[in-house]
């Protein structure tokens, strides 16, 4: 497994929200056209909001800055759903880097700053209760090794792209994620590459090409 670098620095994207950039790998955690816009479009609208029923089990692959977690939590606080959120992150970011991003202030939820950082930096594998009907756990697992079965309604697949970490976009990894979903469950990704779509299909997903977030023509959504 290729280990991500440690030189991530805040970078302001075109919608005004921050992401992280690594100069050594030349990668970003989100689209430079807009971090909040991309996360909202791909993971919240095409993923979370496309699941039927008020109680949703989410698996995120690649917790990173926690932006998808925060946007999901805000939906819970707004009374739209209740979520059990499992995030995989073998390489957690330092708290000083998370502090610099100021997502809670930018999203007009400044009171969440402390509780959000508490969730992001928890050091155990157990469930943490949070306000608004959300429970959260962070697992230090590599997605290539997960053996969860029929536990999730939606997977936010937010790994670095296939050119950066090709070992995370393989048939074996998609098969593991397929097994982890309940029947009818969804996997959403910002990636729209043809070979990724075909790999998802080979793993058993029915795959749709959806309109992408600003700056990207398409994205993919797989259904078990």
Ligand X SMILES: C[S@@+](CC[C@H](N)C(=O)[O-])C[C@H]1O[C@@H](n2cnc3c(N)ncnc32)[C@H](O)[C@@H]1O
| 156 vs 205 by CB, closer to ligand X | 156
- Which residues have C-beta within 8 Å of that of residue 193, sequence separation ≥ 6? 162
| 177 vs 200 by CB, closer to ligand X | 177
CB of 52 to ligand X, least distance (A): 24
CB of 61 to ligand X, least distance (A): 5
| 56 vs 61 by CB, closer to ligand X | 61
User: Quick check: helix, strand or coil at residue 123?
Assistant: coil
CB of 165 to ligand X, least distance (A): 6
Tokens of 67: 């932006």
CB of 141 to ligand X, least distance (A): 7
- Which residues have C-beta within 8 Å of that of residue 177, sequence separation ≥ 6? 59, 61, 143, 146, 155, 157, 187, 203
DSSP string, 12-47: E-TTS-EEEEETTTTEESS-TT-HHHHHIIIIIITT
In contact, 137 and 151? CB cutoff 8 Å: no
CB of 168 to ligand X, least distance (A): 6
CB of 23 to ligand X, least distance (A): 16
| 70 vs 130 by CB, closer to ligand X | 70
| 22 vs 56 by CB, closer to ligand X | 22
**Residue owning tokens 């030189």:** 7
Other beta carbons less than 10 A from residue 180's beta carbon: 23
Query: Given the rule CB under 6 A, which residues bind ligand X?
Result: 1, 4, 29, 61-65, 67-68, 88-91, 142-144, 158-160, 168
d(CA 103, CA 86): 20
| 79 vs 91 by CB, closer to ligand X | 91
């Amino acid at each position: 497994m290729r280990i991500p670098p440690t030189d991530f620095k805040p970078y302001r994207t075109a919608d005004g929200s921050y992401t992280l950039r690594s100069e050594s790998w030349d990668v970003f955690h989100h689209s430079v056209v807009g971090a909040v816009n991309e996360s909202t479009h791909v993971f919240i609208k095409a993923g979370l909001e496309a699941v039927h029923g008020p109680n949703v089990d989410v698996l995120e692959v690649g917790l990173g800055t926690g932006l998808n977690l925060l946007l999901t939590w805000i939906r819970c606080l707004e009374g739209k759903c209740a979520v059990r959120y499992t995030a995989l992150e073998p390489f957690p970011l330092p708290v000083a880097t998370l502090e610099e991003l100021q997502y809670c202030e930018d999203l007009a939820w400044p009171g969440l700053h402390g509780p959000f950082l508490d969730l992001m930096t928890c050091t155990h594998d157990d469930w943490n209760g949070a306000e608004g009907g959300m429970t959260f756990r962070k697992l230090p697992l590599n997605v290539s090794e997960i053996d969860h079965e029929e536990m999730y309604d939606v997977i936010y697949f937010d790994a670095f792209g296939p050119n950066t970490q090709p070992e995370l976009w393989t048939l074996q990894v998609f098969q593991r994620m397929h097994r982890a979903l309940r029947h009818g469950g969804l996997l959403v990704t910002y990636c729209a590459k043809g070979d990724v779509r075909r790999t998802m299909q080979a793993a058993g997903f029915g795959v749709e090409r959806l309109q992408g977030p600003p700056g990207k023509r398409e994205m993919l959504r797989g259904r078990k």
